[in-house]
Amino acid sequence: MKILVVGGGGREHAMVWKLAQSPRKPILFCAPGNAGIASLAVCVPIKADDVAALKAFVIREQIDLTVVGPEAPLALGIADEFRRAKLRIFGPTKAAARLEASKTFSKEVMARVSIPTATAKSFDKTSEALAYVDQHELPIVVKADGLAQGKGVVIATTREQASRAVIDAMDNAVFGEAGRQVLIEQFLDGEELTIMAFTDGRTVVPMLPAQDHKRVGDGDSGLNTGGMGAYAPAPIGTPELRLRVTREILEPVVQGLSRMGSPFQGVLYAGLMIVKGVPYVLEFNARMGDPETQVVLPLLKTELLDVIEAVVDHRLDQLAVEWHDHAAVCVVMTAGGYPGRYENGLPIRGLDFESNRQMIVFHAGTTEAAGRVVTAGGRVLGVTGIGKSLGEAKELAYRRVKQLGFDRCHYRTDIADRALRASR
């Protein structure tokens, strides 16, 4: 069986790594992949959002199954295009992926099926957005409507900050088209939790709850990033909460989209804020999270390929999805300056140290140049430790992190600490 994974970050490395463990021994391709993925799959130099070139490749190479990692190709309609050509693909259609690609649409769906979320208003005129900021209580959250790689959100504690965020997005176009429309949202104070689920449009199978660390610095300081680390299972995602999120959030959304004529097939990601025990939706994504995938997939006991095929063939109700009774912690190592400007091409040290089943180095932004692995992105590596407890998993992850390095490398030192403190 030939499988193409689309993407080239830490999430895709984790997906390829998991698929490579299948006893069915699939032949793996990845577009565009990275220096780490290259040890497990044939990397194909096609950009993840070049839908036409991906389709041509899949037809030419007779690929049996395409698995989409990132949001961009989904938002461009790769799943629609492939299904029209009778090519098997794991991922939602363009219409269903709007749940992520348009925050305004996502709020409409949530309102339709009565899902608790922050109250929000969307604006396409700067003057109206600024007038709203003036009246609203603080803090206030300003979000670009479209895709901005996790960086399109500003939590403003002053009106000046909020106004600047509005002007930057709408007039200065710092997020390009994605920020022409903004959403201004009530601030929710609580604890964040990610619950992703596999769904074939009918059955919803939640994964283990994970917690991401969005801010660049220790103690949740500094700017928002794509994600600086994660751990799973997150203790606040108790079995009761997971069931509640499945029944009251994930299933209603999946059913609602089906009723609207846009059934969702793939991974539905709910970014939640738990406020006094009640889950509120901050955002939906139409794909697996990064870095959440790097902690959740290593704990999946059922073969990933079996799950993916059950989704694609609409028979997820017939599969029991099981998890290992372990914990995982992933620490993301970034280029100095990220999420702002940073340098590429820096040689990475320590990759040849032993990795084993308990310490896995997932590559995110890496490439090979003149026989060396060098940095090629803001998030460079995601180092996952797997242990019997979160404490052990954290210990293992940082042990491996300390063996790695590159100039101006940065990482947070407090991944999973919130959960570890709470359990003491």
Pick out residues in 104-123 that bind ligand GLY (CB under 6 A). none
Binding mask 224-263 for ligand GLY (x = CB under 6 A): ---x------------------------------------
153: which 2 tokens?
């959100």
Q: Which is nearer to ligand AMP, 143 or 412 (CB)?
A: 143
Instruction: Give the containing element (helix H, strand E) for 251.
Output: helix 251-259
Contacts to ligand GLY from residues 275-304, by CB under 6 A: 285, 289-290, 292
Strand order in the sheet with 204-206: 204-206, 191-199, 266-275, 278-285
As a whole number of angstroms, the distance between CA 141 and CA 145 comes to 12
Binding track over 183-212 against ligand GLY, x by CB under 6 A: -----------------------------x
3 state DSSP class of 209 = coil
> β-pairing, 42-43 with 27-32?
parallel
By beta-carbon proximity to ligand GLY, the closer residue of 256 and 271 is 271
Amino acid at 373: V
Cis peptide before 70 (omega within 30 of 0): no
Contact window for ligand AMP (CB under 6 A) among 181-189, 229-237, 325-333, 381-389: 181-189
Binds 153: which of ligand AMP, ligand GLY, none (CB < 5-8 Å by kind): ligand AMP
Q: Which does 145 bind (CB under 5 to 8 A by kind): ligand AMP, ligand GLY, none?
A: none
C-alpha–C-alpha distance, residues 335 and 171, integer Å: 29
List the single partner that 50 binds among ligand AMP, ligand GLY, none, CB under 5 to 8 Å by kind: none
Sheet holding 120-123, edge to edge: 120-123, 182-186, 140-144, 153-156
Give the residue with the Cβ less far from ligand AMP, 185 or 290: 185
Q: Closer to ligand AMP at the Cβ: 80 or 212?
A: 212
**Between residues 148 and 304, which has the closer beta carbon with respect to ligand AMP?**
148
Site string for ligand AMP, 70-109 (x = CB under 6 A): ----------------------------------------
Answer whether 327's CB lies under 8 Å from 385's CB. no
Distance CA 213, CA 107 (A): 24
Measured CA to CA, the distance from residue 252 to residue 194 in angstroms comes to: 17
Q: Which of residues 51-70 bind ligand GLY (CB under 6 A)?
A: none
Looking at the DSSP bridge assignments, the partners of residue 211 are 231
Q: Which amino acid is at 86?
A: K
Q: Where is 204: in which H helix or E strand?
A: strand 204-206
Instruction: Find the shortest distance in angstroms from Cβ 298 to ligand AMP.
Output: 23
CB of 159 to ligand AMP, least distance (A): 17
Residues 143-162 contacting ligand GLY, CB under 6 A: 150
Q: Which of residues 320-379 bind ligand AMP (CB under 6 A)?
A: none
Under the criterion CB under 6 A, does residue 291 sit at the interface with ligand AMP?
Answer: no
Say whether residue 12 binds ligand GLY (CB under 6 A): no
Chain residues 246-285 in contact with ligand AMP, contact rule CB under 6 A = 271, 282-283
Token couple for 51: 């839908």
Which one among 188, 321, 393, 416 touches ligand AMP, defined by CB under 6 A?
188
Q: Does 187 bind ligand AMP (CB under 6 A)?
A: yes
Q: Is 52 or 111 the residue whose CB approaches ligand AMP more closely?
A: 111
- Rounded CA separation 139/327 (Å): 34
| Token pair for 408 | 């101006």
| Binding partner at 227 among ligand GLY, ligand AMP, none, C-beta below 5 to 8 Å by kind | ligand GLY
| Residue-wise DSSP of 38-82 | GGTSEE----TT-HHHHHHHHHHHT-SEEEE-SHHHHHTTHHHHH
Cα-flanking dihedrals φ and ψ of residue 183, to 5°?
-115, 130
Q: Is 233 in the site for ligand AMP (CB under 6 A)?
A: no
> Given its phi and psi angles, is residue 288 left (phi above 0), alpha (psi -120 to 50 degrees) or beta?
beta
Residue closer to ligand AMP by CB (options 141, 374) is 141
Q: Is 155 in the site for ligand AMP (CB under 6 A)?
A: yes
Q: Are 411 and 361 in contact (CB under 8 A)?
A: no
285's contact among ligand GLY, ligand AMP, none, with CB below 5 to 8 A by partner kind, is ligand GLY
User: Which residues are at the interface with ligand AMP (CB under 6 A)?
Assistant: 118, 141, 143, 150, 153, 155, 185-188, 192, 214, 224, 271, 282-283
Residue numbers at the binding site for ligand GLY (CB under 6 A): 150, 212, 227, 285, 289-290, 292
